[in-house]
Amino acid sequence: MHQRIVVKLGTSVLTGGTPHLDRAHMVELVRQCAGLHRQGRDVILCTSGAIAAGRERLGFPDLPATVAAKQMLAAVGQSRLMLVWERLFEIYGLHVAQMLLTRADVMDRHRFLNARDALLTLLEHRIVPIINENDAVATAEIKVGDNDNLSALVALLAEADLLILLTDQPGLFTADPRTDPAAELIPEVETIDERLHALAGSSVTGLGVGGMTTKLQAADIARRAGADVVIAAGHAPDVIARLAAGEAVGTRFPALETPLDSRKRWIFAGPSLRGRLVVDAGAARALRDAGSSLLPAGIHAVEGDFERGDTVLILGPERDEVGRGIARYDRADLERIKGYRSEQIEARLGYAYGPVAIHRNDLILV
């Protein structure tokens, strides 16, 4: 049985496709969450709808399509949204807490641990964390951008064992159900591959940001972190309660059997990847098959800009992603030691941080 459950509610679920927050449906969702809470389980809500609530509150103003206007709507709407959640959870005698995150809060190891501690402390005190992106301050660089990916980061932070992505579709289909009558619901997905990504296309629902593509990305992150993931319809009767009881609803992505350990989860989840190391075939093989660290000798090209300690992408000779990891040298250093044996690092740079470019413990294969 799942003990710690992240429920992600898309804007389409909260508004029912209208321009207004559907409070009647929100009560219904809270009732189900309260039921899980009563069973002794931990519930975390990841809520969208701030921008929609802001629009509603201001009477649907005509605004320029600027980032600042959206941030204004989010700032107005977030407190409205929170007020509604707070009142609804109060009906069931439950305390809630607001946490607004951006990618910056998981990029830096200290902030990651800090956010995790805050989240775990709330759960320990049986308070329901209600999370959204901090849209009012999130710039392009630190924005997660959609609440699907945000909810996956939350699942990872909270070490959740179930992530429920509620949307306006019953799940993932073999084709677009709006145009293809032969489309069938896929009940379970073992591997998230190119074919599936193509299937998900870039379907976007009315008011929200994410479509199926961001849901697949979210599923991929969360299952590597050890959580089962389900995409299901937010308006299906008792959907949260039924999923938590183990019923097969929607499309399920079982957790990977050997989830990444905590540090590796962070590498996988966190940083936006500003750098790329292209490695030769021998190095790619050593990483994949022999569990080796990445040595400067195996690096063929260094791309992008990054500092020592940043997470970088590792690409094979065909530019296929081999993995990602934390660079022990910055871009300029690697540029000078790539292709050289580790004993030569000090002579080339005048200093050395050790023989490896990326240590095995700081590296995950994809």
Question: Which residue ranges make up the site for ligand GLU (CB under 6 A)?
Answer: 10-11, 48-51, 74, 132-133, 135, 146-147, 208-210
Q: Where do the DSSP E strands lie in 134-177? A: 162-167
Closest approach of Cβ 33 to ligand GLU, in Å?
Answer: 18
Q: Measured from the CB atom, is 45 or 295 closer to ligand GLU?
A: 45
Question: 205 vs 342, which CB is nearer to ligand GLU?
Answer: 205
Task: Please tell me the distance from the alpha carbon of residue 210 to that of residue 151, in angstroms, as a whole number.
Answer: 12
If the CB atoms of residues 209 and 229 are measured against ligand GLU, the closer one turns out to be: 209
What is the closest distance, in whole angstroms, from the C-beta atom of residue 103 to ligand GLU in the complex?
Answer: 13
Q: Match 């030569």 to its residue by tokens.
A: 344
As measured in angstroms, the least distance from the Cβ of 143 to ligand GLU is 9
Q: Would you say 39 or 139 has its CB closer to ligand GLU?
A: 139
User: At closest approach, how far in Å is the CB of 240 from ligand GLU?
Assistant: 18
Give the tokens for residue 81.
């949204």
Rounded to a whole number of angstroms, the minimum distance from the CB of residue 151 to ligand GLU is: 9
Residues 107, 274: Cα–Cα separation, whole Å: 12
Q: What is the largest CA-CA distance in the chain?
A: 69
Residue 46 forms beta bridges with which residues? 8, 131
- Name the β-bridge partners of 105: none
Q: Provide the Cα torsion 113, 119, 121, 126; round to 10°.
A: -160
Closer residue to ligand GLU (CB): 15 or 293: 15
Gyration radius (Cα) of the chain, Å: 22
Residue placing its CB nearer to ligand GLU in the complex, 136 or 287: 136
Q: How far is the CB of 51 from ligand GLU (least distance, A)?
A: 4
What's the one-letter identity of residue 233?
A: A
CB 204 within 8 A of CB 211: yes
Q: Which amino acid is at 155?
A: A
